[in-house]
Structure 1
């Protein structure tokens, strides 16, 4: 039925965040017109968690969180939380140039991307 998913990150500085995805993360992209870049993401998963107030989060997954932190830090990325351990993985958060934050984690659980 569905052929993919489209994630939207709202930003105070969309141009800066688009440049980050293009120039720092080197994600392939298409230009939908007038510099409106749409990026190809790695395989993704979706999980549903219980909550009193619905909200949405975005996490990048990686195979080695320490190596990813080191590589991104060398590129000037600001991490807003130290790497911590959770039952489901090792996680951290970093700031996008537009002021928003996204998570990054090394999963300990089986990955649905492998299905």
Structure 2
């Protein structure tokens, strides 16, 4: 996964310092982060194909409170989509990262 950013240095610092993701330096400050367990879903669309990136958490309210204390800005209040509670994190480089508490069975817990 690669996130493109208008301010890659600020977004790298956000993942390193605010979210606390473990990382390696590939050289010259190009940080590569260890990603949490992930899942992939394919949704239908009538519009242009697109990709979105979401972080999952066990308790959205608690995670939002913790990240707010660290200075994280959100795109709006949480909304209930049925399959989960969702909000968005504003990245320093101008991007957005989805954050949600799933209310569906989790694929990342399946055995290999």
Q: TM-score, normalised by structure 1?
A: 0.92
Segment drifting more, 61-70 vs 74-83: 74-83
Distance in 2 (CA, whole Å) between partners of 1:41 and 1:111 is: 17
Q: SS of the residue aligned with 1:47? A: coil
> Root-mean-square deviation (CA), in Å?
0.7
Which structure is higher in strand share? Answer: 1
Q: Which runs of 4+ in 1 moved over 3 A?
A: none
Q: Which residue of 2 aligns with 1:89?
A: 84
Counterpart position of 1:19: 13
Offset of 1:33 from its aligned partner?
1.1
- With normalisation by structure 2, the TM-score equals 0.95
Q: How many residues align?
A: 109
Secondary structure, counterpart of 1:42 in structure 2: coil
**Structure 1 unmatched runs, 5+:** 1-6
